Amino acid sequence: MIGRLNHVALVVPDLAKAAEAYRQQLGAKVSAPQSLPEQGVTVVFIELPNTKIELMEPFGAASAIRPFLEKNPSGGMHHLCYEVADILAAREDLMAKGARIIGDGDPKIGAHGKLVLFLHPKDFFGTLIELEQA
């Protein structure tokens, strides 16, 4: 069912600093920051030849990634995003197999303007998984 690895998302405590480190030290191509108030994050994307890295910092007091940063003050890996051809078909299939979808179960518009949903990390060995309709 899952296809390409779309991106790996990392939470960082200081997005400007992290973007600069990727640009200066690693020589990466880093996008301009983009705030997504509905998701409570500000993100930059790093384009690699075979995938992307998403760096995220909290946006707003109620950001869902604040607790993550409290547990991991220097930052860390937050989720992996796999592409699927049909997100509703993927959801039905996963739910029939007993996997839990986070939230109300309805796909939302993600950072790339495409439909996404998240699978519970307890069902996938401690890793939060995002599915994105390619």
CA 114 to chain centroid: 12
Closer to Co ion by CB, 5 or 16: give it: 5
C-alpha gyration radius of the chain: 15
Closer to Co ion by CB, 27 or 103: give it: 103
Among 18, 81, 87, 117, binds Co ion (CB under 5 A): 81
Site for Co ion contains 130 (CB under 5 A): yes
Size of the site for Co ion (CB under 5 A): 3
Least Cβ distance, residue 81 to Co ion (angstroms) = 5
For the annotated catalytic residues, the residue numbers are: 130
> Which own/partner contact pairs does 86-89 have at CB distance under 8 Å and 24+ positions apart?
86/133, 87/115, 87/116, 87/117, 87/131, 87/132, 87/133
Which positions touch Co ion (CB under 5 A)? 9, 81, 130
